Amino acid sequence: MATQQSFEHHTRYVPEFHFVLGTILLVNLVWCAVWLLRLPSWQAGLDLAMAWGFVLFFKHLRYMVTTVQDRVIRLEEQLRMQRLLPDGLKSRIGEFTTPQLVALRFASDAELPALARRVLDEKLTRKRDIKALIQTWRPDELRA
């Protein structure tokens, strides 16, 4: 990555997917809607339905990829916590939600035990809030 990951710079975009393909699909949707309004026909209606289907496919494809990634992160973080957390906190690993674990993956090994305790004790649930607490950022270069 060109920029060091941090709270401000950790989102990942694949330009060909997010910007090029997404723009093409949206332009196609608008184009098909305009044609249906200008020249109503079954074909124009079918074209619009297909364009809408492609947009939905694009959206759900991204959702499915990130859901699988979150499941893998959940497993990785549970294993990491088994290794790093003190005994009193290991028994609470099951209390973490997937979004909490996804956010905690960026915390360094040294910072994780205290931050994990704080997340549970203060009932922090928003990924953004948890990530903002991280002092020593642990990059995730393999995220989808």
CB 132 within 8 A of CB 7: yes
**48 lies in a domain?**
yes
Q: Indicate whether this model's pTM tops 0.85.
A: no
In a domain, 21, yes or no: yes
Residue range 14-58, pLDDT digits in tens: 788 888 999 999 999 999 999 999 999 999 999 999 999 999 999
Question: Within a domain: residue 43?
Answer: yes
| DSSP bridge pairs for 137 | 107
State the average pLDDT over residues 86-91.
Answer: 95
Q: Which residue has the higher pLDDT, 115 or 8?
A: 115
Assigned domain for 9 exists: no
Can you give the pLDDT at residue 12?
Answer: 66
Q: Residues 67-81: pLDDT tens digits? A: 999 999 999 999 999
For 126, other C-beta atoms within 10 Å of its C-beta total: 11
- Domain ranges, residue 19: 15-133
Dist CA 19 CA 21 (whole Å): 6
In a domain, 5, yes or no: no
User: Is 41 contained in some domain?
Assistant: yes
**pLDDT level of residue 6 (50, 70, 90 thresholds):** low
* Residue 40, in any domain of the structure: yes
Using an 8 Å Cβ cutoff, are 101 and 74 in contact?
yes
> For the chain, how many structural domains are there in total?
1
Structural contact between residues 138 and 110, judged by C-beta atoms closer than 8 angstroms: no
Residue 80 lies in a domain: yes
> Would you say residue 1 has pLDDT above 60?
no
Determine the Cα–Cα distance for residues 24 and 110; give it in Å rounded to an integer: 45
Residue among 79, 82, 88 nearest 117 (CA) = 88
